[in-house]
Amino acid sequence: MTTERTLVLVKPDGVARGLTGQVLARIEAKGYRLADLRLLHAERAVLEEHYAEHRGKPFFEPLVEFMLSGPVVAAVVEGDRVIEGFRSLAGTTEPTTAAPGTIRGDLGRDWGQKVQQNIVHGSDSPESAEREIGIWFS
């Protein structure tokens, strides 16, 4: 067993489309556990810290603006190899080409400048997970 924690966000498009329940149901159905859960309107400072690795990239500001456009759901999800497992469940970044069976592949169809509308975020490493959980659940 490699029990880990990851930070999952249901992004504003997912919340606005009423997909929160489906996302959480897929997480639980796979066998992961919700350890903490919040619905909130993110602050700019939180988002700039969360996406710090992307600062300076052309999509940074539009991404932050998009994340400010409506409420998000933040969850701490726990389980055996959950970091990789959730990213596999989420699918690749672009919903149009994400594999069917994944959250992004089944529930999204955006690409190009709208790729920010990809329903969920999941931490990409144990270090990112602990950093991001600290930002969203301090």
Residue 11: closest CA among 110, 130, 112, 126: 110
**Phi, psi (degrees; rounded to nearest 5) at 37:** -155, 135
Q: Which one of ligand RTP, Mg ion, none interacts with residue 63, CB within 5 to 8 A by kind?
A: ligand RTP
Which residue among 24, 26, 118, 129 contacts ligand RTP (CB under 6 A)?
A: 118
| 121 is annotated as an active-site residue | yes
In the chain, alpha helices (H): 12-16, 20-30, 44-50, 60-67, 82-90, 103-107, 126-136
Q: Does 97 bind ligand RTP (CB under 6 A)?
A: no
Q: Which of 41, 50, 54, 121 is catalytic?
A: 121
Binding site for ligand RTP (CB under 6 A): 59, 63, 93, 113, 115-116, 118, 121-122, 124
